[in-house]
Amino acid sequence: MAKEKVTFNVDKEKNFSDWYSEIVKKAELGDMRYNIKGFIVFQPWSVLSMEKMYGCLEEVLQEKGHKPYWYPVVIPEKNFLEEKDHVKGFAPEVFWVTETGAGEKLEERMALRPTSETAFYQMFAIWIRSYNDLPFKTYQRAQVFRYETKATRPFLRSREFHWIESHNAFASKQDALKQAEEDMQTTKEVLFEKFCIPFIFFERPQWDKFPGAEFTFASDSMMPDGKVIQLPSTHIISQKFTKAFNVKFTDENGKENFCWTTCYGPAVSRIFAAMISIHGDNKGLIFPFSVAPVQTAIVPIYTEKNKEKVLGEAEKIRKELKKKGISSEVDLTGKTMGEKFYFWEMKGVPFRIELGEKELKEKKATVFTRHSGKKTKEKISDLAGFILKEGKNQMKFLQEKANKNFDKVIAEADSFEKAKKVLKEGKIVKADFCGISMESYPCAEKVEKELNANIRGSRFPEKEKAKGNCIACGKKAEKVVYIAKSY
């Protein structure tokens, strides 16, 4: 077969930024040419995968007792102004709806939701009556809108993003904190086990929490360019909001109390960005088997003479795989064989089945495995069995590889000098620090100024004991923190 021109070949290690921009275009993940700045069109190849990602997340959330809701996309200004820290945090990014098509001003401005606490809580106040209603666990899948002023990048930062927001109410602070631990577990079950993304779960410093929250916990993963990316976060909203929205319950003794609330926000579009960045290589994408838009590409090899027979067999295989829950697509394009191979490799399909006269005769198809580059002959009668087994192996391989790479990028430092060196190598600094309450804020400022990086927090729920002194002020350290450059 004639060698085809290479359609994708960007060195990811050397130039991750170019790799990312190129693959978004080449694999047709998202199109930035939509004519409103900061908004993109999500194309089938990303939508199909993100649908599966939503599926994984929703399945686990429902399993843990969260019920799905669909809230309006607009929030009245009155709700929005109820909690002052929240307003301060979000106000500059809000899109306001102010008038009708007839040019009439609306009586009250409405916000396109930037996040939906203030929508959920006003209904919580109506629905929650007694301790019997608690815990009250909800979620919705939704798009949210924030007027980002920083440069936008597809899936990573845009003015509209796709996420799940889970809002929950509890009888006590203890229950709320337990929910944060459950969210960490959910993150592990989905992000690591299904999307093969390693992460560290942190308690964020007090100066870096969600506007209106008492504590923020968040998972950070590592992008190939040495910057960390925040993936799902959980916030203990405490009673500030429930007091503002009057979300009360009557306890066993008939006494009225304010609820404690939490929210958990896995941003699917952002997680998608991290996933493709972590797993891809110089030939293009590599999708974890569980969330690949298409899990198997079937490439029929035929001449005019045997076309009908080969295509018939290919379609039979596709249907057989579908029965076993494997998504596949028969490549019927007029491209050359080489072009087809490159195309599916670039698209990151985990398996490619080649099927021609020879294969039909032998009753064995040639199967190419994307992540290992191996080609094997497999019985046509049991292609599904092979793919399901190897699909599991692929996930394990991606998990281990990503884990290994992640471990390699954490390095301890006990001075700014050393920390600078670690950060320059594109790594995360692990260091002793005086604390993560507001009292340590001056030390955090010093880190930001001198290292041009920030304190991501200390590990949660497990704790690491500090042995030395704060890297910034030299006082006895209370916490072990991680310092990194971030997205």
Residues near Zn ion (CB under 5 A) are 434, 443, 470, 472-473
CB of 75 to Zn ion, least distance (A): 40
Shorter beta-carbon distance to Zn ion: residue 142 or 434 = 434
Q: What are phi and psi of 324, to 5 degrees?
A: -90, 10
CB of 435 to Zn ion, least distance (A): 7
At 82 the three-state DSSP class reads: coil
CB of 441 to Zn ion, least distance (A): 10
For residue 123, the cross-strand partners are: none
At 292 the three-state DSSP class reads: coil
Q: How far apart are the C-alpha atoms of 353 and 350, rounded to whole Å? A: 10
Q: How far is CA 123 from the centre of its chain?
A: 28
Q: How far apart are the C-alpha atoms of 399 and 12, rounded to whole Å? A: 19
- Identify how many contiguous H helices and E strands the chain contains and give both numbers: 14, 23
Q: How far apart are the C-alpha atoms of 228 and 482, rounded to whole Å? A: 11
Pairing of strands 410-412, 428-433: parallel
Q: How far apart are the C-alpha atoms of 162 and 30, rounded to whole Å? A: 13
Shorter beta-carbon distance to Zn ion: residue 24 or 472 = 472
Q: Which two tokens stand for residue 317?
A: 């295989």
CA 379, 385, 388, 394 torsion-angle sign: negative
Pairing of strands 364-369, 351-355: antiparallel
CB of 465 to Zn ion, least distance (A): 17
* Side-chain-facing half-sphere of 139: CA atoms under 13 Å: 24
At 156 the three-state DSSP class reads: coil
Shorter beta-carbon distance to Zn ion: residue 184 or 472 = 472
CB of 477 to Zn ion, least distance (A): 8
Shorter beta-carbon distance to Zn ion: residue 337 or 473 = 473
Shorter beta-carbon distance to Zn ion: residue 236 or 472 = 472
CB of 475 to Zn ion, least distance (A): 5
Shorter beta-carbon distance to Zn ion: residue 297 or 481 = 481
Shorter beta-carbon distance to Zn ion: residue 169 or 434 = 434
CB of 89 to Zn ion, least distance (A): 26
Pairing of strands 67-68, 136-145: parallel
Shorter beta-carbon distance to Zn ion: residue 3 or 465 = 465
Q: What is the DSSP letter of 409?
A: T
Shorter beta-carbon distance to Zn ion: residue 422 or 434 = 434
At 168 the three-state DSSP class reads: strand
Residue with tokens 């018939």: 312
Shorter beta-carbon distance to Zn ion: residue 32 or 473 = 473
CB of 469 to Zn ion, least distance (A): 8
CB atoms within 10 A of CB 49: 25
CB of 400 to Zn ion, least distance (A): 37
CA angle 203, 209, 213 (to 5 degrees): 105
CB of 438 to Zn ion, least distance (A): 12
CB of 474 to Zn ion, least distance (A): 7
Shorter beta-carbon distance to Zn ion: residue 44 or 442 = 442
Which value, to the nearest 10 degrees, does the dihedral of the CA atoms of residues 271, 61, 399, 233 take? 50
Shorter beta-carbon distance to Zn ion: residue 71 or 416 = 416
* Closest residue by Cα to residue 285 from 35, 45, 65: 45
Question: Which DSSP string corresponds to 227-286?
Answer: -EEEEEEEEEEETHHHHHHT-EEE-TTS-EEE-EEEEE---HHHHHHHHHHHH-BTTB--
CB of 437 to Zn ion, least distance (A): 11
